[in-house]
A and B are shown apart, each in its own frame.
Chain A
Amino acid sequence: MKILVAIKPVPNPDEKVKVKGDGSGIVLDNIKMVVNPFCEIAVEEALRIREKLSGEVVVVTVGPKESEQQVRTALAMGADRAVLVEAGRDLDSLAVAKVLAKVVADEQAELVLMGKQSVDDDNNQVGQILAAVLGWPQATFASKIEFAADNKKANVTREVDGGLETIEVALPAVVTTDLRLNEPRYASLPGIMKAKKKELKVVPLASLGVDTAPRVKVLSYAAPKQRAGGGRVADVAELVSKLKNEAKVL
C-alpha cells in the first residue's frame, strides 16, 4: 500500500511558549522544533501498515527549508522517502490542504495519514479539508485502523464525544490520528544514519500552480488572562469550609 504521511514541525509541546512583547508572534528562541506528536503517531501507523502489507511510506511537509530536520526524523523512524514543498510558514489550512492534494495526486497515494491537530496552531482542519478537496472519505480522530481482506476498505474507530465510533471508509481515504492509535517508536541510531541518505525531494511551491492566497490571516497574538492561583489550604476541613463560605460553590 502506498501511504502518504503529512507532517508538520511544531515547537516542543513540553515547553510553555510566550507571546512576543509587540504581539507580532511567539518567542521561539531556544525552543526546539519537533515533529507534531499527532504526526509522529501517523508516521508510526504508516510504518506498521507497511510492515504488514508492504508498500511505501512517503512523508510530505509544506514549509520552509528548515523543516528538513523534522522530515529527517520521520525518515529515521523508517519512512522511505520524503517530499518538502518549500513555502512560507504562513499558508492557511485551505492552502496547505490544496498543496497536499497536488502531492497526493502526483504520488497516487492510496491512503493519507495525518495528525488530527497541530499542537501549535491547534486548527484541526487540514486533513478534513484535504479529504474534501480530493473527494475522498475521511476518518478523523482514529484510535484503530483495520483493513478489509482485500485492502480496499478500512474500519476506523474514532474517539468522539460520548465514546467510540467505528466507520467504514473505502480507500483511498484520509485518516487523522488521535492519541491512542499507537505509541510511536524512537528513531534508532542506524535509522538516523540511513535517513541521511534517503531521498528528500524539494519542490518549490510555485511549481505546483496552487492558489495559496491567504483567506485566514493571523494578525496578532496576545497573552491569555493569567489566573491568580497559588492559594493553599492546610487541610480538608479548611478546604471544604472555604469552598462553602468563601468561594460559595458548595
Chain B
Amino acid sequence: MADILVVVEHHEGVFKKNTLSVVSAAKALAGLTGGEVDALVLGDGVGAVADVAAGTGVRKVLLGEGAAFSKYLAVTTAGAVAQVVKAKGYGAVFAPASTFGKDFMPRLSGLLDAPLASDIVGLEKAGEALRVKRPMYAGNAIGTVELAGSPLLFTVRQTAFDPAAMGGAKAPVEKVSVTAEAVGTAFVSRQETKSERPELTEARVIVSAGRGIKAQENFKLVEELSDQLNAAIGASRAAVDAGWAPNDWQVGQTGKIVAPELYIALGISGAIQHLAGMKDSKVIVAINKDEEAPIFQVADYGLVADLFKAVPEMIAELKKLKSA
C-alpha cells in the first residue's frame, strides 16, 4: 500500500513524546497494509525536532520550514500537510489526539475530502477493509469503524499505543518546500501554564483534585503530596471551572486522557466525564469522604476519609518510607 505520514507534534522546537505513540500506531497500520512510515516536521528552525524524530524508527523525516510556520496555526499546518500528502501520494496520515491533532486534522480532512477517525485505540484488517476502534459516549462504548477512500486520516489516543523507542539509528532528513496559507488567521499570544512537574500525559503518577479541595490555596496540599511522588497534578472540571486550577489540568472526556501507573483522586466524585479520562490508569486510589461516591467503583484502593486529614498523613507516611 501507499506510504504513511506521521505529523510530529512539537512545542516551540521541543519534540513532544506523544508522537512516539503515533509512530507506533502508524507502524501497526504499516504491518497490516504494507507501506513505509515517514515523519513530517513543520516549523521554523526546528532541525532539532527533526533530529529526534529521525531516531524513532521512521524511514525518513520530511522537514518543512519557514518563518510563517514559527507559530503553530491550524490553517497553515493543515494546508502544508495537504501539500505534502498530494505531492508524495501518502495513503494515510497520523497525528496525536492532542489539542494539536484535534485542531488541524479535521481541517485536513475537509481540505482533502478524506475521512478521519478520531482518537483511535486500535487497528485491524477485515479482508481488504481497514477497521479501527475508537471510544465513544465518554468511553462507555468502543466503536468499530470502517473507513473508505484514500488518504485515510487518524488521530491517535496516546495511552492506547506503547511509545516507539527513541534514539535509534538516524533516518535521513529531507527538506520539503511548503507554502503557508494563513487564511485570515494570525497568532496573537500564548499564556503558558508554568510547571516544573512532569507533563500530565507523560507522568508515571498523577495526583488530581476536585471540588472537595474547596479552595485554590488548598492545592498546596496537592503539591506537597505530588512532590513526594514526583507526580503531575490534574483536576476535575469542577476545580478548573472554579478557577483553582488551569484549564490544561482538566482530566476527562473533554480534557486530557491519561493512564499513569498510579492515579490518586482527591475529593473527586467520579462523574462519567471524569472517569472517561482516567479509568485506564493502572492503579487508582480515591480519597473521598462520601462512601457512596462513584469514584470508588473504579478505585483499587478507596479510602473513605476527609482529605484534609488523610493527605497530610499520607505525606508523612511517604516521608517515613523515604527515610527508612
From B78, B144, B184, B189, contact of A170 by CB (8 A): B184
Question: CB distance A167 to B187 under 8 Å?
Answer: yes
Is A179 on the interface with B (CB-CB < 8 A)? yes
Is A92 on the interface with B (CB-CB < 8 A)? yes
Contacting residues of chain A (143-194) with chain B, CB-CB under 8 angstroms: 143, 155, 158-170, 173, 178-180
Give the Cβ gap from B51 to chain A, nearest Cβ, in Å. 22
Q: Give chain B's interface residue range (CB within 8 Å of chain A).
A: 35 or more
Q: A100 to B254: give the CA distance in the assembly, Å.
A: 24
Question: CB distance B283 to A247 under 8 Å?
Answer: yes
Q: A224 to B131: give the CA distance in the assembly, Å.
A: 17
A130 contact set on B, CB distance < 8 A: 110
Which of B27-35, B38-46, B61-69, B311-319 touches A? B311-319
Which of B168-176, B212-220, B241-249 touches A? B241-249
Q: A117 to B261: give the CA distance in the assembly, Å.
A: 28
Q: A216 to B143: give the CA distance in the assembly, Å.
A: 11
Is B115 on the interface with A (CB-CB < 8 A)? yes
Question: CB distance A218 to B143 under 8 Å?
Answer: yes
**Given A18-B140, A219-B131, are A129 and B73 neighbors across the interface (CB < 8 Å)?**
no
Question: CB distance A224 to B102 under 8 Å?
Answer: no
Contacting residues of chain B (33-60) with chain A, CB-CB under 8 angstroms: none
A169 contact set on B, CB distance < 8 A: 184-185
**Given A162-B193, A236-B313, are A19 and B186 neighbors across the interface (CB < 8 Å)?**
no
A247 contact set on B, CB distance < 8 A: 262, 283, 300-301
Is B142 on the interface with A (CB-CB < 8 A)? yes
Question: CB distance B73 to A167 under 8 Å?
Answer: yes
From B104, B119, B262, B271, contact of A243 by CB (8 A): B262
A164 contact set on B, CB distance < 8 A: 190-191, 247
Question: CB distance B110 to A94 under 8 Å?
Answer: yes
Number of A interface residues at 8 Å Cβ cutoff, please give it: 85
Question: CB distance A232 to B303 under 8 Å?
Answer: yes
B305 contact set on A, CB distance < 8 A: 235-236
Is B26 on the interface with A (CB-CB < 8 A)? no
A167 contact set on B, CB distance < 8 A: 73, 185-188
A14 contact set on B, CB distance < 8 A: 271-272
B136 contact set on A, CB distance < 8 A: 120-122, 221
Is A16 on the interface with B (CB-CB < 8 A)? yes
A119 contact set on B, CB distance < 8 A: 137-138, 253-254, 273
Is A132 on the interface with B (CB-CB < 8 A)? yes
Question: CB distance B135 to A163 under 8 Å?
Answer: no
Is A231 on the interface with B (CB-CB < 8 A)? yes
Question: CB distance A135 to B190 under 8 Å?
Answer: no
From A125, A160, A163, A221, contact of B141 by CB (8 A): A221
B189 contact set on A, CB distance < 8 A: 165-166
From A11, A97, A141, contact of B99 by CB (8 A): A141
Q: A176 to B135: give the CA distance in the assembly, Å.
A: 21
Contacting residues of chain B (106-135) with chain A, CB-CB under 8 angstroms: 106-111, 113-119, 131, 134-135
Give the Cβ gap from B131 to chain A, nearest Cβ, in Å. 7
Question: CB distance B109 to A94 under 8 Å?
Answer: yes
B99 contact set on A, CB distance < 8 A: 140-141, 158-161
Is A88 on the interface with B (CB-CB < 8 A)? no
Is A249 on the interface with B (CB-CB < 8 A)? yes
Is A105 on the interface with B (CB-CB < 8 A)? no
Question: CB distance B187 to A125 under 8 Å?
Answer: no
Contacting residues of chain A (183-239) with chain B, CB-CB under 8 angstroms: 214-224, 227-233, 235-237, 239
Q: Can you list 30 A-B contacts with CB-CB less than 8 angstroms, sorted by A residue number?
A: A14-B271, A26-B141, A93-B106, A122-B119, A123-B118, A124-B102, A125-B106, A133-B110, A136-B184, A140-B74, A140-B99, A158-B99, A159-B247, A159-B248, A164-B190, A165-B189, A166-B189, A166-B190, A180-B240, A214-B148, A219-B144, A224-B135, A230-B296, A230-B302, A233-B302, A236-B310, A239-B285, A239-B314, A240-B321, A247-B300
Residues of A that sit less than 8 Å from B by CB: 11, 13-14, 16-19, 26, 38, 92-94, 97, 116-117, 119-133, 135-141, 143, 155, 158-170, 173, 178-180, 214-224, 227-233, 235-237, 239-240, 242-244, 247, 249-250
Q: A122-B134, A138-B75, A235-B303 are in contact. List 11 more A-B contacts (CB 8 A).
A: A13-B138, A94-B109, A124-B102, A128-B74, A135-B183, A160-B100, A161-B100, A179-B254, A221-B143, A224-B142, A228-B300
| Closest 9 pairs (CB-CB, A-B) | A132-B110, A170-B184, A128-B106, A215-B115, A129-B110, A125-B106, A236-B313, A166-B188, A160-B99
